[in-house]
Amino acid sequence: MGKTVWIGDVQDGLHDEQTVELKGWVKRTRGSNKIRFIVLRDSTGTIQCVGKRDVLGDEAFESLKGALIESSLILSGTILVDERADGGHEMTISNVKIVGSVDPERPFPITESAMAAADGGETEFLLDNRHLYLRTSRMTTMLKLRSSAFGAIHSYFRGQDFIEYQAPNFVAGAVEGGSTLFEVPYFGKKAYLTQSWQLYAEAAMPALERLYTIAPSFRAEKSRTRRHLTEFWHAEMEMAWATNDEIMNHGEGLVRHIARTMLDEHSPELTSLDRDIERLALYADSPYPRMRYDEAIEILQGKGVDVEWGQDLDYSKEKVLTQDFDLPHFLTHYPKIAKPFYHRVDPDDGNYVLCHDLLAPEGYGEIIGGGERTWSEEEILKRIDEEGTPRDPYQFYIDVRSYGGVPHGGFGLGVDRVISWLSGAEHIREVIPFPRDSRRVTP
Ligand code: ATP
Ligand code: MG
């Protein structure tokens, strides 16, 4: 009996010729009545393990033979270097323990052919079995990339002296408009699930000056697109005294840092997804161009897209616009009529607001929305009334401005969208373990 080791370390050559113990799950199995080949998987890698009847004895060999795909096993044996084996190593099994067996009447349903039938998209069958689908190599890779992105967001903001701050998830008012609000019964009253951390972050801005969060946001998105979830992970920041340009600098810095971290930590995984590493390096190393909304409208109209000045850009338009971009682009200065009351009007031209969206290239579209906030009490009241929004739910938000309001701003980044773009996923639900959309809250 050797000590328990990671398969990843074995494949890295740390245990050559040693007798060790591996704990894992059966990925594939084949063989005859005399010899079994088990590809064992743990969270760090896979390795082929070979069991022979004449070494193991009949009882142990029979239990190994009965171990179906996704059974959990503890295998002891010797690690051999073998050029022909996947990863360059193989284990000769000397001892077998079946920990969790799989019923032959109910074999593991996520087979290669079930995935092939889904042909890149996920069928309802795979979504119904999401709790099992998580174990496939594609999904495991996505979850590792996801973890890398979350780590990068924390390290970026902490490295820039931002303070992590939490807002409530039950709220009384909308940030992004009533149409996507989830209403929940709240002890005889109505509450809503938060669409954004922003309003509560602005309340803490005079206390903390630079703050950030990573938290879920909820939006009742009725149309199902490849970039909308009803529950998504939102990385948001708020910063005192900041201009639109300074906020964009942080958005750019953050996205480049996420791309760099993913490359540093997971280049082989990105390659296994057929992602072009050179392209990601470009996203990590290049400055992102900035263009005004008006210029984007001209480009779109030049391409024959039916769009008028004053409209917000939906996915279909962003897709056309970003198809030929080789880098993310900021669009700034949207028309005031296209944006909600908290966006600060441009003092140089009252038709525009000081805001930005960051659009990812390759047709992915918006990944960040941000800008300066309407910061004086007088102006926020004017904007709220103009919009016909009731003042009541925003009383605290107005009050904050009556006591030493200062210019400030921030942005929200869709974490799942960024991961989906950087990993080259076809659909946002490929990068989140249990995706929520208008049709599905199970499993
Ligand atoms: P869209 O126009 O694409 O619906 P939005 O303008 O509603 O986006 P914001 O309110 O600016 O988005 O939210 C900030 C960021 O949060 C967006 O740039 C996007 O990355 C992300 N985001 C917004 N809604 C969703 C959603 N339903 N699912 C996943 N991510 C989202
Ligand atoms: Mg939206």
- 238-296 per-position pLDDT tens digit: 999 999 999 999 999 999 999 999 999 999 999 999 999 999 999 999 999 999 999 99
The label of the residue with tokens 């903390």 reads 208
Structure tokens at 415: 């974490």
Whole-angstrom distance, CA of residue 319 vs CA of residue 338: 19
User: DSSP class of residue 438?
Assistant: T
Confidence of residue 176 (pLDDT cuts 50, 70, 90): low
Is the distance from the beta carbon of residue 313 to the nearest atom of ligand 1 less than 6 Å?
A: no
Whether the predicted pLDDT of 175 surpasses 70: no
Cα 410 from Cα 429, distance rounded (Å): 26
- Give the three-class secondary structure for 15: coil
The secondary structure of 313-351 as a DSSP string is P-HHHHHHHHTT-SS-EEEE--BGGGS-TTBPBPTT-TT
Instruction: Report d(CA 317, CA 329) in Å as an integer.
Output: 14
> How far is the C-alpha of 201 from the C-alpha of 207, rounded, in Å?
10
DSSP string for residues in 171-207: ESS-SS-GGGPPEEEETTEEEEE-S-SHHHHHHHHHH
Q: Rounded mean pLDDT of the chain?
A: 95
Give the amino acid at 142.
M
Site to substitute for ligand 1 among 322, 366, 420, 429, most atoms within 8 A of C-beta: 366
pLDDT digits (tens, 9 = 90+) for 28-58: 999 999 999 999 999 999 999 999 999 999 9
Residue 75 confidence (pLDDT) above 80? yes
Residues 6+ apart with CB under 8 A from 81: 13, 16, 17, 88, 89
pTM: 0.96
Cis peptide before 443 (omega within 30 of 0): yes
Mutate to test the pocket of ligand 1, among 232, 342, 358 (most ligand atoms within 8 A of CB): 232
End-to-end CA distance of the chain: 40
pLDDT score of 309: 96
Ligand 2 mean position, distance from CA 289 (Å):
23
Residues 6+ apart with CB under 8 A from 103: none
226 lines ligand 1 (CB under 6 A): no
The predicted pLDDT at position 121 comes to 61
Q: Is the CB of 417 under 6 A from ligand 1?
A: yes
- The fraction of the chain above a pLDDT of 70, given in percent, is 98
**Cα 353 to middle of ligand 2, angstroms:** 18
Decide: 219 in ligand 1 pocket, CB within 6 A. Answer: yes
* 319-342 exposure pattern, b = at least 16 Cβ within 10 A, e = fewer: bbbbeebeebbbbbbbbbebbbbb
List b or e across 97-112, with b for residues whose CB sees 16 or more CB atoms inside 10 angstroms. Answer: ebeeebeeeeebebee
Q: Residue 188 is encoded by which pair of tokens? A: 């005889």
Query: Cα(250)–Cα(253) distance, rounded to whole angstroms?
Result: 5
Among 217, 312, 416, 418, residue to substitute to test ligand 1 (most atoms within 8 Å of Cβ) = 217
> Per-residue confidence at 217, pLDDT binned at 50, 70, 90?
very high
Binding site membership of 414 for ligand 1 (Cβ less than 6 Å): yes
Q: Closest ligand to 228 CA?
A: 1
Residue 224: pLDDT band with limits 50, 70, 90: confident
* pLDDT score, position 117: 79
The predicted-structure confidence for 80-134, as pLDDT tens digits, reads as follows 999 999 999 999 999 999 999 999 999 999 988 888 877 656 688 999 999 999 9
What pLDDT, on a 0 to 100 scale, did the predictor assign at position 173?
73
How many whole angstroms from 423 Cα to the centroid of ligand 2? Answer: 22
Closest C-alpha to ligand 1, atom 21: 414
b/e string for 212-229 if b means 16 or more Cβ within 10 A? Answer: bbbbebbbebeeeebbbb
pLDDT value at 374 more than 80: yes
Q: Which domains does the chain carry?
A: 7-100 (2.40.50.140), 137-431 (3.30.930.10)
| 93 close to 75: Cβ distance less than 8 angstroms | yes
C-alpha of residue 51 to centroid of ligand 1, in Å:
52
pLDDT, position 118: 74
Looking at the predicted structure, is the pLDDT value of residue 177 above 90?
no
Q: What pLDDT is recorded for position 119?
A: 66
Residue with the two structure tokens 């390759």 = 362
Length of the chain in terms of residues written: 443
Ligand 1 binding pocket includes 368 (Cβ within 6 Å): yes
User: CB count, 10 Å around CB of 206?
Assistant: 15
314 CA → ligand 1 middle, Å: 11
Cα 431 to Cα 285: distance, rounded to the nearest angstrom: 24
Report how far residue 153's alpha carbon sits from residue 158's, in angstroms, rounded to the nearest whole number. Answer: 9
Q: Give the Å distance between the CA of 221 and the centre of ligand 2.
A: 7
Q: Is 234 a pocket residue for ligand 1 (Cβ < 6 Å)?
A: yes
Q: Which ligand is nearest to the CA of 176?
A: 1
Neighbours of 315 (CB within 10 A): 16
pLDDT beyond 90 at 182? yes
Eight-class DSSP state of 431? G
Q: What angle do CA 25, 26, 32 make, to 5 degrees?
A: 155
Which phi-psi region, left, alpha or beta, contains residue 330 (left: φ > 0; alpha: ψ -120 to 50)? Answer: beta
Place of tokens 């971290």: 261
Query: What token pair was written down for 309?
Result: 């000045």
- Residue range 309-352, pLDDT digits in tens: 999 999 899 999 998 899 999 999 999 999 999 999 999 999 99
Report the Cα 340 to chain-centroid distance in Å: 26
- Identify residue 249 by its one-letter amino acid code: N
